Amino acid sequence: MPTILFDRIDEPGLNTLEVYERRGGYQALRRVLGMTPEEVTNEIMESGVRGRGGAGFQMGRKISFLPHGDMEKYLVCNADESEPGTFKDRELIQKNPHMLIEGVIIAAIAGGIAKTFIYVRGEYSKQADILEAALGEAYGAGYLGERILDSEHSISLVLHRGAGAYICGEETGLLDSLEGKRGNPRLKPPFPAIEGLYHGPTLINNVETLCTVPHIIRMGGAEYAKLGTETSTGTKLVSVSGDVQRPGNYEVELGIPSREIIYGLAGGPPDGREIKFWFPGGSSSPVLTKDDLDIPYDFDSLAKAGTMLGSGAIIVADERRSVLDTAIKVAKFYAHESCGKCVPCREGTNWTHKMLDRIRSGEATPMDLDIMASVQEQIIGNCLCVLGDAMAMPIGSMVAKFRDELEAEIDAARERANAAPLEDVVALGVADEQPDDMGGPRFSEAGSRAGA
Amino acid sequence: MSSGGPVPVPRFGHGSRVPGWDEAVDLTKDPAVVPDPATTPVPPELRETIEAAMAKYPDRRSAAIPALHAAQQLHGYCSPEAITEVACVMRLTPAYLTSVATFYDMLETEPRPHHHDVYVCTNITCSLLGADELLDAVADASAGREDVHVRSFECLGACDIAPMASVDGEYIGPLTLEDAPRIVEDLEAGRPVLEHKQLRYRRSVDPGAAASEGER
Ligand SMILES: Cc1cc2nc3c(=O)[nH]c(=O)nc-3n(C[C@H](O)[C@H](O)[C@H](O)COP(=O)(O)O)c2cc1C
Ligand code: SF4
Ligand code: FES
């Protein structure tokens, strides 16, 4: 298995400039100083590297969207890492901060950018301290500042610490937060590449994406593209956690079977237990089951399976776990983190959480599952950013794939709570009115679309 | 409460079932304007920190979070005085800064006489591995200790050491219920908290080896 980002990652002192330079650090930058920005962009384009933060957009294309010409452009590195299950950026920042700094500088040169920022989530205070120390060293050595290494490029880098809000990982929420406001996402378009930070064109990339940049330059874009699959090139850090024997970050070549990551690298669930469900790409990705373990781990294969690679975080739950418990955690998280700007997300996340809680307290009927499914459908595509979708997709997948179990939970909880037997409730005729097909909105066309 | 009749819906003092908008404000007062430097004393170190932060950005407003954070360090929480001081230095209204402070989980707008922040993660992975019981145990262990502020938190980005907690920013895990009282003891004694379980000693590659190393 090729090791690129995690090469010598555990070497003591790798976070210092001295060791990093001794290991070939900042050589890629020196090379870039002899290239034109177009040549640098071309290498990145040729590598085919796709964003590692969640959306999987090609980095080279994003750079090419930046307008040319003499204007104040910005680069923002997204180190807000708060997608539940994800802990790879943390590792890169604390173990190899100079690799990130070098990547930021090279990307800035490619985009003709002079002012750069790294937005680190506030909770990563120790990691930010390490990065701050590295930043000082990089300025001291002339890699940052006026006319870096006596070239014509002047690049500044500011470390910005957040204060705890998942939504600030969403790129436009992050921009508002960096401008000193509440982190509410903005309407797109305009996309940040056209109008972003302080209204200037802005390149936003994830920590891991930027960390690959020095390696792309070192190896050459074409060589990098040979790794992975045709449309998902390179290696990816995968954070594996939950019911596995060896939780941790693993660097894999994109396209290897998921089973190899979960069982081969992370050891699978302890005591030979079976997997019940797993999130392939953080809590926002629709769940898969043990029947899906042979899906290749890359952007397109997972998309084809109706889910997504997301941030590359696998969370495994074994046969002992209750789907309901996890669903409640997921819904509660998104309800807490919704910024409240759009109604479907603010209300939908909150009510989904309440409906799931009602299952546990014995107040729910199977009809609630249909209502819940319809709420998810009405969130998807109707919000300003995709935080709403990020709850609707996993919850929708859990209701669809584990309906029997959830219905059993409803029955059991009603019994515990001494609620009226379900037959009596059904006899009232409530449940009968539900159409029995699974697709489409549950409310009658006439009712919900009146006046539309 | 035994009569079996309908249980009354709990209401707030103003008669409504939802909290009021009038709690934090004095409706008889004019809205607070940008504080006058002549009449608003600001501790010099705080002023210096905020001014240094403002100088780092093309737009001074970008320093809002770092400035509020510094004021919170000084005052314990984003108190009205803290907000006024930041507003005075940054030339912004207190309302603007309050809107920022209330958005972020790590900025506290309620009094908090605590010196230590213990965040217990109760998100997906941690709760699969027992975080909810752990949170109760840590809360029990710190009951009555004024200086320890325990709260549940969303995923802290360390699910590899689940169930875990952040104690004043130091990540520790995987934790057992027996660790709960030791966290509080270590804090009391001023020692590094559960040092052998701190994330910084964990290897990135072959993390399995780190677990056994950590147990020495
Ligand atoms: C709700 C939400 C949260 C997000 N959180 C993060 C995050 O913590 N880190 C990150 O890199 N990207 C996050 N993203 C994705 C960013 O919006 C953006 O796509 C990404 O930073 C672009 O960088 P990339 O192209 O290198 O992946 C989030 C998106 C959404 C909708
Ligand atoms: S979808 Fe949710 S988080 Fe995103 S802008 Fe709307 S309310 Fe805010
Ligand atoms: S779920 Fe607890 S650290 Fe991620």
* Tokens 């789907």, located at residue: A323
| Strand A248-253, strand A156-161: pairing | unpaired
Looking at residue B31, its pLDDT comes to 80
Looking at residue B112, its pLDDT comes to 75
At A412, give phi and psi (nearest 5°). -60, -40
Q: For residue B210, what pLDDT band results from cuts at 50, 70 and 90?
A: very low
Which chain B residues touch A339 with a CB distance below 8 Å? 103
Give the pLDDT confidence of B163-188 residue by residue, as tens digits. Answer: 999 999 999 999 999 999 999 999 99
DSSP B63: G
CA-wise closest residue to B202 among B158, B138, B156: B158
Looking at residue B18, its pLDDT comes to 65
Q: Is B194 in the pocket of ligand 3 (CB under 6 A)?
A: no
Give the pLDDT confidence of B94-110 residue by residue, as tens digits. Answer: 999 999 999 999 999 98
- ipTM of this complex: 0.91
Looking at residue A70, its pLDDT comes to 86
Name the CA radius of gyration of chain A, rounded: 24
Q: B159 alpha carbon to ligand 3 midpoint, in Å?
A: 4
Spans in chain A with pLDDT lower than 50: 427-452
Interface membership of B68 toward A (CB under 8 Å):
yes
Which chain B residues touch A157 with a CB distance below 8 Å? none
Interface membership of B120 toward A (CB under 8 Å):
no
- B26 vs A434, which has greater pLDDT? B26
Q: Is B156 in the pocket of ligand 3 (CB under 6 A)?
A: yes
pLDDT value at B4 more than 60: no
Name residues 357-396 of chain A within 8 A of B (Cβ): none
Residue A54 contacts residue A280 (beta carbons within 8 Å): no
Which chain A residues touch B98 with a CB distance below 8 Å? none
Looking at residue A332, its pLDDT comes to 96
Give the pLDDT confidence of A369-419 residue by residue, as tens digits. Answer: 999 999 999 999 999 999 999 999 999 999 999 999 999 999 999 999 887
Residue A188's CB: how many other CB atoms inside 10 A? 13
Residue ranges in A305-452 assigned as alpha helix (H) = 323-337, 343-361, 366-379, 387-401, 403-416, 422-427, 445-449
Looking at residue B6, its pLDDT comes to 66
